[in-house]
């Protein structure tokens, strides 16, 4: 795999989570190491690193899609954490997930919000009322 795309992707992924690349490589090493390489080189190295849309909006777009598709909860949790890490406000994430009730239905929005709640609790973030 040529150096450039991979290095660009690695840098882009590191902005979301400096441990993600290592975790990805470790996860798939014994079954399909190319999957981690592909994720770094194509999504992060060629798509998410493009100009034309800022990274925060790209992450909100990803959170929208993952909430709407409904069957990608581990990825949704990772991208919520990553979005926070690059400066998305927790309230923006909540708004995007809530909005999915309109386009993908309430169950998708409820399940997405449950993922967000769990990430926020882990990070000590509160977007609603004080407990």
Cα angle, residue 110 at apex, residues 24 and 103 outer, rounded to 5°: 95
- For a copy of itself, the closer CB: 84 or 113: 113
Residues 10-49 that bind a copy of itself (CB under 8 A): 27-35, 38-39, 42-43, 46-48
Is the distance from CB of 21 to CB of 10 less than 8 angstroms? yes
Of residues 18 and 23, the one with the C-beta less far from a copy of itself: 23
- Binding residues for a copy of itself, per CB under 8 A? 2, 4-5, 27-35, 38-39, 42-43, 46-48, 50, 52-53, 57-58, 60-72, 74-75, 91-92, 94-111, 113-114, 116-117, 120-121, 126-129, 131
């Amino acid at each position: 795999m040529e150096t450039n795309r991979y290095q660009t992707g690695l840098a882009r992924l590191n902005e979301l989570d400096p441990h993600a690349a290592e975790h990805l490589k470790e996860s798939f090493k014994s079954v399909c190491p190319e999957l981690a390489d592909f994720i770094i080189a194509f999504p992060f190295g060629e798509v998410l690193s493009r100009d034309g849309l800022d990274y925060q909006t790209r992450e909100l777009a990803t959170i929208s899609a993952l909430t709407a598709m409904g069957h990608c909860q581990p990825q949704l949790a990772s991208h919520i954490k990553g979005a926070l890490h690059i400066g998305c406000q927790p309230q923006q994430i909540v708004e995007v997930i809530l909005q999915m009730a309109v386009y993908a239905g309430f169950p998708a929005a409820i399940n997405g919000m449950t993922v967000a709640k769990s990430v926020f609790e882990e990070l000590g973030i509160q977007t609603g009322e004080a407990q």
